[in-house]
Amino acid sequence: MNKAHPLIAIVIALAAVPASAQPATPGAAECAALQTMQLPGFVLSEVSAQWIAAGPAKPPLPPTLVLPARCRLQGTLDRRKGAGGQPYGIGFAVALPEVWNGRFLFQGGGGFNGVLGEPMQGLARGFAVVTTDAGHRSPNGNALDTQFLSDQQATIDFAYRAVERVTALARAVIARHYTQPISHSYYVGCSTGGREAMLAAQRFPMEFDGVVAGAPAMRSYYAVLGVDWVNVQLNRVAPKDAKGQPVTRDALSSTQKQAVIEGIRKSCDANDGVRDGLVFNISACTFNPKALVCSGKNKGAGCLTAAQAAALERAFAGPRTDEGRQVYAPFAFDTGIADTQGLGGLLNGGFNGSTISTTDLKAAVRWADTNQANGITDTAGWTNMTTFADRGGKMILYHGLSDSTFSALDTVDYYKRLGEANGGADAVRRWSRLFLVPGMGHCGGGSLTTDSFDALTAIVDWVERDTPPDAVVATRTAEPKLTRPLCPYPKYARYSGRGDPNDVANFACSTP
């Protein structure tokens, strides 16, 4: 469960979202009054209220983005002493813009949370925004720290309760501050925030009108196993260091890694009508690493050995038990799997956050199967969404195909099961859509990918205008610049064969 990549720019792109309510303009005096407020049902401590003048955003948001004047309310909910005498409580921060558009946005967290981020997503558009540390503070701001799991209540808060409690608190604060009701409520997040967005729709179906769940950490401990499986296979052909330990990232040389990427491009890139380094028609990708095995006169620096090819084939097929049970989803052969941006691609060893051996496969499977935290944080098994859908709720899922932390194909599997449990694929597409992003790593990044897109406008338009996202325009900001439509699964972006291949206008969503 990785600390979220700086993806905020994706979901708060600067396209305007029309206000749905008359603006309310309480100022510094009303902000100060929140510090001593009493709210029935909530025990607050360490409360501070600060009026912040309009000014440029802080990283990871672009400094060119100007945030409005706002009240920032911070505090702790349900403060207590927990296991080992450690202090616990649900930290929260609410940003209340001077001119409010009537909307409420819950900004998801990352990693194991434990860090209280700045509530900024959607703030420039006039949303009232809340974020939380999910019930614990990590030492030194380390969002991957798991010490809190020794405390029962802190584990429950992280798994789901913090979302419920902070949602209720934020609603009460907003009502007190603006003295008018919320028009629409949204949840947006990636990684752990994506899991939180899913559980917001699954477990609290009456609370949110629209959710955006990116690269969701649906079953994080099995995802760790998925990456560990890749490392197990690569370590079988990796060179050893001075201590006799396999060096995973050197299982393939840099030349061989590039040969793999070129092999994927040769086999799969043109299946969407244009060779551009991006594999949009992933269902038609038939790349097999064995095609890169060569010998004799044809043997070169980019050739794979038979053992390397077999290791890659097993690695990307996903972990299975000795009895053949698929434990976690396969990974896609995508052009970003060797990219060193962000968390690094799977060919470099990916992200390995487990405490298990990367050479003992049976131990890895046993570890994932018996881990006690699986059930409480799992959102992959929740497919009954009747209440959320019937009341008009909308859900957007997105996932980078080169994600080296959570397999995009696991999200595809969830989306398929969602259809099976809710009246079929066509029925589900009326309220939920999945967008796959070629070349994108975990929540963003990738040297060639089109990873800048505005999912927040898409979900708002769907909820408030009943305009489903038949495509979401994505941009590559690095050179060479281009735009592409992200199409709702199972459709993909296909080049028409006419006009500038870097222009989104010359692509259409096509069925495989």
Is 90 exceeded by the pLDDT of residue 352? no
Query: Who has greater pLDDT, 333 or 22?
Result: 333
Read off φ and ψ for residue 302, nearest 5 degrees.
-90, 0
pTM tops 0.85: yes
**Domains identified in the chain, total number:** 2
Asked if residue 176 and residue 34 are part of one domain, the reply reads yes
CB 97 within 8 A of CB 121: no
Residues 412-449 have pLDDT tens digits of: 999 999 999 999 999 999 999 999 999 999 999 888 88
Asked if residue 321 and residue 230 are part of one domain, the reply reads yes
Which residues, other chains included, contact 254 with Cβ-Cβ below 8 Å and sequence gap of 6+? Answer: none
Q: What is the DSSP string of 368-387?
A: HHH-TTHHHH--TT----HH
Residues 144-160 have pLDDT tens digits of: 888 999 999 999 999 99
Residues 497-510 have pLDDT tens digits of: 999 999 999 999 99
Cα–Cα distance for residue pair 202/130, rounded to 1 Å: 20
Quote the tokens at residue 100: 């409010």
Residues 315-329 have pLDDT tens digits of: 999 988 878 888 899
Residues 152-182 have pLDDT tens digits of: 999 999 999 999 999 999 999 999 999 999 9
pLDDT of residue 70: 97
User: Which amino acid is present at 192?
Assistant: T
Asked if residue 226 and residue 105 are part of one domain, the reply reads no
Tell me if 130 is assigned to some domain.
yes
Cα–Cα distance for residue pair 124/69, rounded to 1 Å: 10
Q: Identify the three-state secondary structure at position 511.
A: coil
20 is catalytic: no
Quote the tokens at residue 183: 């028009």
Burial 76-111 (b: 16+ CB within 10 A, else e): bbbeeebeeeeebbbbbbbbbbbebbbbbbbbbbbb
What is the pLDDT confidence band of residue 339, given thresholds at 50, 70 and 90? Answer: confident
Asked if residue 122 and residue 259 are part of one domain, the reply reads no
Dihedral angle sign, alpha carbons of residues 484, 487, 493, 498? negative
DSSP single-letter state for residue 305: P
What is the pLDDT confidence band of residue 224, given thresholds at 50, 70 and 90? Answer: confident
What is the pLDDT confidence band of residue 480, given thresholds at 50, 70 and 90? Answer: confident
**What is the percent of the chain with per-residue pLDDT over 70, rounded to a whole number?**
89
Q: Element (H or E) spanning 288, and its range?
A: none
Catalytic residue (one of 136, 184, 399, 442)? 442
CB 399 within 8 A of CB 214: yes
Quote the tokens at residue 228: 């560990």
Asked if residue 254 and residue 141 are part of one domain, the reply reads no
Quote the domain boundaries for residue 54. 22-182
What is the pLDDT confidence band of residue 100, given thresholds at 50, 70 and 90? Answer: very high
pLDDT of residue 487: 98
Tell me if 331 is assigned to some domain.
yes
Asked if residue 325 and residue 245 are part of one domain, the reply reads yes
Out of 304, 332, 361, pick the residue that ends a domain: 361
Q: What is the DSSP string of 55-105?
A: EEPPTTS-TTPEEPPEEEEEEEEEEEE-GGG-EEEEEEEEEEESSB-SEEE
Q: Element (H or E) spanning 49, and its range?
A: strand 44-52
Q: What is the average pLDDT value for the chain, to the nearest integer?
A: 89
Is 60 exceeded by the pLDDT of residue 340? yes
pLDDT of residue 161: 97
Asked if residue 260 and residue 153 are part of one domain, the reply reads no
Tell me if 196 is assigned to some domain.
no
pLDDT of residue 377: 85
Tell me if 444 is assigned to some domain.
no
pLDDT of residue 50: 97
Least confident stretch, 279-293, 361-375, 387-401, 469-483: 361-375
Tell me if 414 is assigned to some domain.
no
Residues 365-396 have pLDDT tens digits of: 676 666 655 578 889 989 999 999 999 999 99
Q: Identify the three-state secondary structure at position 194.
A: helix
Angle 306-317/220-235 helices, nearest 10 degrees?
A: 170
Cα–Cα distance for residue pair 446/405, rounded to 1 Å: 14
**What is the percent of the chain with per-residue pLDDT over 90, rounded to a whole number?**
71
Tell me if 487 is assigned to some domain.
no
Q: Cis ω on the peptide bond leading into residue 480 (within 30° of 0)?
A: yes
pLDDT of residue 220: 84
Angle 220-235/361-370 helices, nearest 10 degrees?
A: 180
Tell me if 163 is assigned to some domain.
yes
User: Which amino acid is present at 91?
Assistant: G
Asked if residue 169 and residue 105 are part of one domain, the reply reads yes
184 is catalytic: no
470 is catalytic: no
Q: Element (H or E) spanning 165, and its range?
A: helix 162-178
Which residues, other chains included, contact 375 with Cβ-Cβ below 8 Å and sequence gap of 6+? Answer: none
Is 60 exceeded by the pLDDT of residue 4? no
Query: Who has greater pLDDT, 222 or 132?
Result: 132
Asked if residue 117 and residue 228 are part of one domain, the reply reads no
Asked if residue 256 and residue 134 are part of one domain, the reply reads no
Q: What average pLDDT does range 253-260 have in this prediction?
A: 94
Asked if residue 347 and residue 246 are part of one domain, the reply reads yes
pLDDT of residue 343: 57
What is the pLDDT confidence band of residue 19, given thresholds at 50, 70 and 90? Answer: very low
CB 40 within 8 A of CB 50: no
Closest among 464, 403, 409, 387 to 183, alpha carbons compared? 464
Closest among 410, 381, 470, 447 to 226, alpha carbons compared? 410
What is the pLDDT confidence band of residue 143, given thresholds at 50, 70 and 90? Answer: confident
Catalytic residue (one of 138, 185, 191, 432)? 191
Out of 312, 328, 361, pick the residue that ends a domain: 361
Catalytic residue (one of 209, 403, 410, 451)? 403
Out of 335, 361, 387, pick the residue that ends a domain: 361
Tell me if 499 is assigned to some domain.
no
Q: Identify the three-state secondary structure at position 150.
A: helix
Asked if residue 290 and residue 144 are part of one domain, the reply reads no
Cα–Cα distance for residue pair 96/72, rounded to 1 Å: 6
